[in-house]
Structure 1
């Protein structure tokens, strides 16, 4: 019962967050440079005259009071109706959602590779603390954390596409070509997780319950795996969730380099073209994604950490 109460309270907390996000997204149309009606006419290749501007303002409801405009826009946004994109002349929701699966696949693949790299390296580094291998992994993780994604992506593309010709230079959003962009994005996150997990494992290894397990005959490796890893991973779950949300928001540089048709590149192109409906829709969808991920993380903690259930 307490679990459901907690989840219900978290759901109630989401409502004011969503309202704030919608207000900020709606405010873009009033804060942007230039008249929305004029921008709409130019994007459609129509002549900018006072008559046409007045007609567009009437059609878009821009002559109504600001509060009425917001309520009307919000009612449509609730149904994921953000209007028509200036650059494609198609519904914004369709344009964003058509690119979302590519972004989602890339985010899942990048996060999977990050965790797959981080856990064994952190375990080895913590097990052989201050050894030559530990120093090597620490140097590599520092380099990985500071390495720009766009530079790494260009290097991987040059090596595997141009020199070795193992992948096409322009691959598109195909599942068989996901490895290089996923590796490009995973290196930075894996490097951070390695350092955090290593430090957590070393700290946990000095706790009394781990020493007691060792005293009962459990080997150092077994104690590290059985008692250390689970507790070391717990503090990283929130970080992994936040990073996964970042990836779901789209990665412009990586998507551009590998011709990956995700929402990141589409959003940046829309900003350059002042495509306000797309920008507003993008903000709402990304914000909802972040909120859902945080809610799922809170629920996950209820089941993996008994101390939270006690609280």
Structure 2
């Protein structure tokens, strides 16, 4: 019963959190500099006159006070109607929904690469603690964690797309071109996972059940893989969920560099054009994703970690 009450309580917290996010999303987007009506007219190639400005403001409801604009916007949002994009003249929710799967594919692939690289490196580093392989991997991970992802992306593009011509310079949104942007986004999280996993494995090596496994004839490497890894992975779930939320929000720098048509790139273009409906919808979608990821992690922890105190 404690688990059920805990889950219900966490789900109930989602609504007030989304309400707070909606207030912040609407307020911050409207406090930015520049006249949205004037920018919209210039983007359409229309002369900016007093009459045209008034017409655009009336069309998009910008002639009302901010509280009125917010209430009208909120009434539509609860019906998943985020209005019409100023730049594309199409429903915002459709524009975000069309680009979100592209960003999601990139996030999933980058996370897969991160774990694919992090797990064996962490195992080797823990197995050879304070020896040459461990020192090399720790130095490499420190370097990768501090490098800006846009610089890494440009270097990978220069080497593999320009010099070697293995991958295209413009990735677009096709799965066959996902390797370079996914690898770029995976390196910094991978370095973080390696350090956390390595430290957990080093600590676990001294536990009694690990000593018992080695006493039964298992090598230290096999003991780490069979008995240590699954326990070392549990504390990494929170970091994995946080990093995945960051990736799903769209890495605008990487999406722009590789011309990956995701929500991050679209959001940056919308900020430049003061496309309020897109900015607001983007913030709400990202916030909802973060909240649901954290909710899922909390529920998973309830069932896999008996040490959690639900009270």
Could you state the TM-score of these two structures normalised by the residue count of structure 1?
A: 0.92
Report how far residue 207 of structure 1 moved.
2.3
Secondary structure at the residue paired with 1:26? helix
Note closer, same or farther for the CA distance 1:191–1:29 as it changes in structure 2 (3 Å cut): closer
Which residue of structure 1 lines up, in the alignment, with residue 222 of structure 2?
A: 222
Note closer, same or farther for the CA distance 1:253–1:32 as it changes in structure 2 (3 Å cut): closer
Report how far residue 209 of structure 1 moved.
3.3
Report how far residue 69 of structure 1 moved.
2.6
Which residue of structure 2 lines up, in the alignment, with residue 232 of structure 1?
A: 232
For residues 275 and 64 of structure 1, the distance between their equivalents in structure 2, rounded to whole angstroms, comes to: 17
Unaligned stretches of 5+ residues in structure 2: none
Per-residue displacement from partner, 1:173-215 (whole Å, max 9, x unpaired)?
Answer: 1101111111111111111111111111101112233234434
Q: Is the 8 A contact 1:28 1:280 kept in 2?
A: no
Note closer, same or farther for the CA distance 1:37–1:154 as it changes in structure 2 (3 Å cut): closer
What do you get for the CA RMSD once the two structures are aligned? 2.1
Note closer, same or farther for the CA distance 1:152–1:37 as it changes in structure 2 (3 Å cut): closer
Which residue of structure 1 lines up, in the alignment, with residue 72 of structure 2?
A: 72
Which residue of structure 2 lines up, in the alignment, with residue 188 of structure 1?
A: 188
Q: Is the 8 A contact 2:40 2:273 kept in 1?
A: no
Report how far residue 103 of structure 1 moved.
0.5
For residues 86 and 69 of structure 2, the distance between their equivalents in structure 1, rounded to whole angstroms, comes to: 19
Q: Is the 8 A contact 1:28 1:276 kept in 2?
A: no
Note closer, same or farther for the CA distance 1:157–1:262 as it changes in structure 2 (3 Å cut): same
Q: Is the 8 A contact 1:43 1:86 kept in 2?
A: no
Q: Is the 8 A contact 1:170 1:259 kept in 2?
A: yes
Bigger mean CA offset, 14-23 vs 249-258: 249-258
Which residue of structure 1 lines up, in the alignment, with residue 96 of structure 2?
A: 96
Report how far residue 310 of structure 1 moved.
7.0
Which residue of structure 2 lines up, in the alignment, with residue 155 of structure 1?
A: 155
For residues 139 and 229 of structure 1, the distance between their equivalents in structure 2, rounded to whole angstroms, comes to: 22
The answer to whether the aligner puts 1:281 opposite 2:281 as a matched pair is yes
Which residue of structure 2 lines up, in the alignment, with residue 23 of structure 1?
A: 23
For residues 120 and 156 of structure 1, the distance between their equivalents in structure 2, rounded to whole angstroms, comes to: 23
Per-residue displacement from partner, 1:112-134 (whole Å, max 9, x unpaired)?
Answer: 01001111110111011111111
Report how far residue 92 of structure 1 moved.
1.5
Could you state the TM-score of these two structures normalised by the residue count of structure 2?
A: 0.92
Q: Write the mapping of 1:39-58 to structure 2, written as runs, cut at 5 A.
A: 39-58=39-58
The answer to whether the aligner puts 1:143 opposite 2:143 as a matched pair is yes
Report how far residue 56 of structure 1 moved.
3.9
Report how far residue 150 of structure 1 moved.
1.6
Report how far residue 247 of structure 1 moved.
0.4
Question: How many matched pairs?
Answer: 311
Q: Is the 8 A contact 1:169 1:258 kept in 2?
A: yes
Which residue of structure 1 lines up, in the alignment, with residue 112 of structure 2?
A: 112
Secondary structure at the residue paired with 2:89? coil
For residues 152 and 34 of structure 1, the distance between their equivalents in structure 2, rounded to whole angstroms, comes to: 33
Note closer, same or farther for the CA distance 1:246–1:29 as it changes in structure 2 (3 Å cut): closer
Which residue of structure 1 lines up, in the alignment, with residue 201 of structure 2?
A: 201
For residues 152 and 36 of structure 2, the distance between their equivalents in structure 1, rounded to whole angstroms, comes to: 39
Report how far residue 38 of structure 1 moved.
4.2
